Amino acid sequence: MRVDDLLEQGLCRSFEFFPPKNDDEAATLSATITELADLDPSFVSVTYRGGRESRQRTFDLVSSIEHTSGIPAMAHLICVGHTREEMREILSNYVDDGIDNIMALGGDIPTDPALQGGDFVHAIELVELARSVGEFSVGVAAHPLGHPRSTSRMSDRRYLAEKLRLADFAVTQFFFDVAEWRGLVDDLEALGVDKPVIPGIMPVTTLSGAARMAEMGAAVPAWLMDRLEGAKGDGSAAVRQVGIEAATELCFQLLDAGAPGLHFYTLNRSTATREIHARLFPL
């Protein structure tokens, strides 16, 4: 099914995976997909870093999930480093495989010079190309605090609004305060755009993970760091529990605020996501 159709039907619950690079990672991901499939997700998404090898891993995983598990799968695509001809071929392959859902991303500028360049400058160009190739449901990325490379938050909002006028929905970068999602949605509505914006959720389960999140563009706020640090003396399990509780609280607040769904960044592990899901949607 198309993600935009699923969103029209009601609250969506979705999970994000990345393609495995070796047999051990593949075994872990296979177990994770099996465990999370029991939660009956609305859809799942698969990331993509660019380059022919990564591209094929994404395609293979998306195709496998879509056709063997029965769960709608969404393929991430990035426009950095691709020619239009190359991207048209990638999109056509998804059409031929019966994949309906695409996440159109700009992508981080790669360090490998061989992967730099290409015909695209902004993700909106990829949205336009996807529209010309197939009847995709197209998602785009949103940053509640603004994209790290944007000149200002409002310029980022205007660019996002422009993308969303062509796309069907957005999925946000992870964040930690419901007011950040609410502010993003309000700003888009003020610009005349009311497409669904699905909040992205990533629980902080370790103090080292909190540091990495800042590098990924969404620093853990001081109030949450204080809670995590306060639990440190009771061991790593206590720190993890604080992170799970904080993510669960955020999810409840988002649902109360009218969020159209929840998108969980799993890092190819199921435990934290299953714990949060069980608290949100008890049997």
Answer whether residue 282 is part of any domain: no
- What is the average pLDDT score of the chain? 92
Distance in angstroms (rounded) separating the CA atoms of residues 77 and 57:
12
- What total number of domains does the chain contain? 1
pLDDT digit string, tens, across residues 31-59: 999 999 999 999 999 998 766 777 889 99
Structure tokens at 94: 């998804």
CB count, 10 Å around CB of 117?
12
SS3 156: helix
Answer whether residue 46 is part of any domain: yes
271: domain CATH number is 3.20.20.220
CB count, 10 Å around CB of 172?
22
Report whether 123 contacts 79 (CB < 8 A).
Answer: yes
10: left (phi over 0), alpha (psi -120 to 50) or beta: left
Could you tell me the pLDDT band of residue 210, with boundaries at 50, 70 and 90? confident
Answer whether residue 122 is part of any domain: yes
Q: Which among 8, 16, 180, 215 is annotated as catalytic?
A: 16
pTM above 0.75, yes or no: yes
pLDDT of residue 212: 86
Decide if 16 is catalytic: yes
Answer whether residue 283 is part of any domain: no
| Sequence-ordered strand ranges (E) for the chain | 12-17, 43-46, 73-78, 101-105, 137-142, 169-174, 197-201, 261-265
Answer whether residue 62 is part of any domain: yes
User: Can you give the residue range of the structural domain that contains 60?
Assistant: 3-277
pLDDT digit string, tens, across residues 122-167: 899 999 999 999 999 999 999 999 887 788 899 999 999 999 999 9
Report whether 171 contacts 164 (CB < 8 A).
Answer: no
Answer whether residue 70 is part of any domain: yes
Answer whether residue 20 is part of any domain: yes
CB count, 10 Å around CB of 37?
16
pLDDT of residue 81: 79
> Partners of 17 in the beta sheet?
46
Instruction: Give percent of the chain with pLDDT exceeding 70.
Output: 95
User: Exposure string (b/e) for 120-138, b if CB count within 10 Å is 16 or more?
Assistant: beebbbbbbbbbebeebbb
234: buried, middle or exposed (CB in 10 Å: 19+, 13-18, 0-12)? Answer: exposed
pLDDT at 107 over 90: no
Answer whether residue 214 is part of any domain: yes
Question: Average pLDDT in the 80-99 region?
Answer: 93
